Amino acid sequence: MNAAETIETLLKLGVTVKDGVSSGKTVAQLLADQNVQTAISGLLANLSEGDLNATIQAVQQKQEALLNGQPVSLLTTDKLRQYSDLLDAESALVSKQASVGATANFLSWLVDDALPVLVRVAPVVIPLLV
């Protein structure tokens, strides 16, 4: 799975879980629901720790490419926004504290920490990673 696909999968997974949580269920209760479990398992089937690590590396490489050996202060406004969004994406992904999987810890991190950042930066970051 490439970096853009990884971020898209995280978005889909996060929104799926957030939708269930917004109905008043806890993540643990969602995991006990067979329909939700099937949806989550389907999204997680192709997502691995390696995918997340490769995405972090791809984001870092894109940061370096945007800088092109220059200091951040010399970036144009457009490039500065792209660089900032890449930094935010990297920070959200690096902060993961649980292994990828259908666990309350991973899904809580995704919904509470990563999803708000990824939703905001995805329109800029995904095209940069394609």
pLDDT at 127: 96
Up-side HSE of residue 122: CA atoms within 13 Å toward CB? Answer: 16
Report the C-alpha gap between 6 and 79 in whole angstroms: 23
Q: Domain range holding 108?
A: 3-129
Q: What is the largest CA-CA distance in the chain?
A: 52
- CA–chain centroid gap for 44, Å, is 13
* Domain total in the chain: 1
Residue 115 identity: L
pTM: 0.90
Report the C-alpha gap between 13 and 36 in whole angstroms: 10
pLDDT of residue 97 exceeding 80: no
SS3 label, residue 20:
helix
Report the C-alpha gap between 110 and 93 in whole angstroms: 9
Each residue's pLDDT tens digit, 63-84: 999 999 999 999 999 999 999 9
Report the C-alpha gap between 126 and 74 in whole angstroms: 23
**Helix 115-129 and helix 3-22, axial crossing angle in degrees, nearest 10:** 160
Q: Token pair for residue 38?
A: 């099937």
Average pLDDT value for residue range 46-60: 94
Each residue's pLDDT tens digit, 104-120: 899 999 999 999 999 99
pLDDT tier, 44 (very low <50, low <70, confident <90, very high otherwise): very high
